[in-house]
Amino acid sequence: MTDFFEGIRVIDVDTHLTEPPDLWTSRIASKWGDLIPHVERRGDDDCWVIGEKVVLKPGIVSMAGFDGTVPDHPATYDDFPAACYDVDARVAHMDENGVYAQVLYPNVGGFGSQSFLKLNEPRLMLDCVAAYNDFLVDWAKPHANRFVPVMALPFWDIEASIAEVDRAAKIGHKAVLFPSQPHDFGQPALCDPHWDPLWAASQDANLSISFHIGGQDLGTLARRGTGIGRRANFARTSSLAFIENSKGLAELIFGGICHRFPKLNFVSVESGAGWIPSLLEAFDWQWTNGGVRNEHPEYELLPSEYFKRQVYACFWFERESMGSALELYPDNMLYETDFPHPTSMSPGPQTPALPPREYAAQALGGLDPVVIKKVLQDNAARVYHVA
């Protein structure tokens, strides 16, 4: 059988690293005691704990190959595939699946760095962010050309954020993780000029901005007690979480961020992409219908044109819905697997997921080879500076 990835350096733009149990305890001053994020065995499960509070069960985010479906999950680190947390095992997994490079996202710190707020100690919060960013570069170092580290950000402190962007860029980070709805966490809205110094610093450092789903407060979306069942509720919440990122895209464009920072790239991560054409069609129509250019004559482009210039979306399981997205925006689509999360292309016996090569062959096989290479390699290489 022909290797569908042959001749392409596939870049997987959304994967997660299961943080090792000693990540923070080995790097943070012991004076903070149990406030330092650490792992404890609670019942049958390994759990990430801050103080006395469980903040994450790592098994829920380390489900590659698991014979079950959420909320069931492997219990302990001994039950996780080594590729979840070991760099050499990860590279072997990538080689087996024909993936050249991976972009790395966190779990414990939150998909918008918001979980660090649970520490409730400003100095410790900053130290934990820096420790994570240092760890990620150190972890990837044996195979540095195969990984794209994405930095955590102390977004609750604008001056500290700007300083950390400068520091993280110098040690090898290629992108900035940012919550698409920072107002959910008591901060100014995404379009507020409060953030302009951060956008400027990121643009100057040539780092893109990543809006990963879950970088919002999904508490209302993930409501319980609905009577529909845990599995149905998880499926509902996960599906709707994709669309939450549309709110961030609206802020970027209607709030003038793309206009003010024309060389800054933004990536909507793990949100899917099939819905992008419909959203942008609505943006363009309402932009004209509402007379936005009369209010902002400096905005020289339509929303879809700003998107084409500097915004990207990721896909990993869609089929029929991707036709328009790939036809209209071939230069803005990125491929991901979400390894090793519950919705990843890391098939377990009870999931519909397919291995990367097989999915790509089925979903992209009829496309122009130029487009295939763009979405599997070239677009991501441009955004993340992968040689």
Long-range CB contact pairs, 369-377, < 8 A, 24+ = 371/326, 371/330, 372/8, 373/8, 374/330, 374/331, 374/333, 375/326, 375/330, 375/333, 375/334, 375/335, 376/5, 376/8, 376/10, 376/11, 376/335, 377/8, 377/9, 377/10, 377/11, 377/100
Neighbour tally for 141: CB within 10 Å: 12
54 close to 23: Cβ distance less than 8 angstroms: no
pLDDT, residue 229, reads: 87
Largest pairwise CA distance in the chain: 62
CA-nearest of 189, 41, 50, 174 to 110 is 50
H or E stretch at 374: none
pTM for the whole structure: 0.96
* CA pseudo-torsion sign 148, 261, 201, 251: negative
Kindly compute the dihedral angle of the four CA atoms of residues 29, 35, 38, 44, in this order, to the nearest 10 degrees: 160
298 DSSP 8-state letter: T
CATH topology of domain 10-21+59-384: TIM Barrel (3.20.20)
Q: Using one digit for the tens of pLDDT, what is the confidence trace for 134-153?
A: 999 999 999 999 999 999 99
Q: How many CA atoms does the CB half-sphere of 137 hold within 13 Å? A: 16
Q: Is the peptide bond before 71 cis (omega within 30 degrees of 0)?
A: yes
Segments of the chain scoring below 50 in pLDDT: 1
pLDDT at 291: 96
Residue type, 327: E
- Angle in degrees, 0-180, between the axes of helices 303-310 and 230-254, rounded to the nearest 10: 100
The confidence score (pLDDT) of residue 224 equals: 63
316 is written with which tokens?
Answer: 């990993």
CA–CA distance, 236 with 224 (Å, rounded to integer): 12
